[in-house]
Amino acid sequence: MGMVFRASDEQLERDVAIKVLPPGMLADESARRRFRREALTLAKLNHPNIGTVYEFGRQDELDFLVMEYVGGVPVDSRLAGGPLSQKEVLRLGFQLADGLASAHDQGVIHRDLKPANLRLTQDNRLKILDFGLAQFIQGEYDLGVTASVSEKQVSGTLPYMPPEQLRGEVTDQRSDIWSAGAVLYELATGRRPFTSSQVPLLIDGILNKPPESPSVLNPKISPGLEMAILKCLDKDPERRYQSARELRVDLDR
């Protein structure tokens, strides 16, 4: 959705991240006002597990967002060494669920949760980043996508997209729950729930086939954690956790 630069805020003497949107993305003043409203919504997401938005601006025909610079490593880098311990999966799962609950409370659906969009700070805190495909429950438009939800535009990262998003249907907080389940599955097993490198087979798996039980891939996974992950990944949103807080409760158990 744009190029991101590391920069220095000379007024407050801190590093920040600046996302510069592609020229022409906000083609008219109406689109810019809409994007500004959505940027203001993101700026209200003040939670320790969410990257903070500081500013929305325009200079020399360029539109940009100024965001918190989050040091550390992306979660997908941690997966290079294989599955994490159950204790670590739960610790990260708690923080992911807490961050999602806060975003959903503000009416924001992320729609692109994946290990590359989750970062671990130097003090081992998980941060949810990149709300560039976010959907606003009370708004008509998607951030950075100049099309209404009703046009059924499919956007996201295929291996982590829930069935309803893949079909171009309207998404809600339960769609983020599915993607969170895909992330937890990968943290616990070291691989994605649907792994085909052929796009048609990958789509068919997400839409029609159950994932392999995590305990088959990692026998150290407890039945409770396995149940929670598979409930997140249910094809039917009605059978998933209905909120991130419900997921958090079961992870606690």
Sequence-distant (6+) residues with CB within 8 A of 189 are 83, 214, 217, 218, 221
The pairing of beta strand 108-109 with beta strand 118-120: unpaired
| Cβ pair 164, 98 in contact under 8 A | no
Token pair of 96 as six digits: 């992911």
Residue positions counted in the chain = 253
Kindly write down the DSSP assignment for every residue of 24-81, as one continuous string. Answer: TSS-SHHHHHHHHHHHHHHHT---TTBPPEEEEEEETTEEEEEEE---SEEHHHHGGG
- Which residue, among 223, 36, 49, has the nearest Cα to 129 in the 3D structure? 49
Q: For residue 158, what is the DSSP state?
A: G
Look at residue 174 and give its three-state secondary structure: helix
Whole-angstrom distance, CA of residue 172 vs CA of residue 92: 22
Catalytic residue among 112, 130, 142, 176: 112
Residue 124: left if φ>0, alpha if ψ -120 to 50, beta else—which one? left
Clarify whether 176 is annotated catalytic.
no
Burial 123-147, CB ≥16 within 10 A → b, else e: eeebbbbbbbbbbbeebebbbbbee
- State the Cα–Cα distance between residues 182 and 189, nearest whole angstrom: 11
Catalytic residue numbers, as ranges: 112
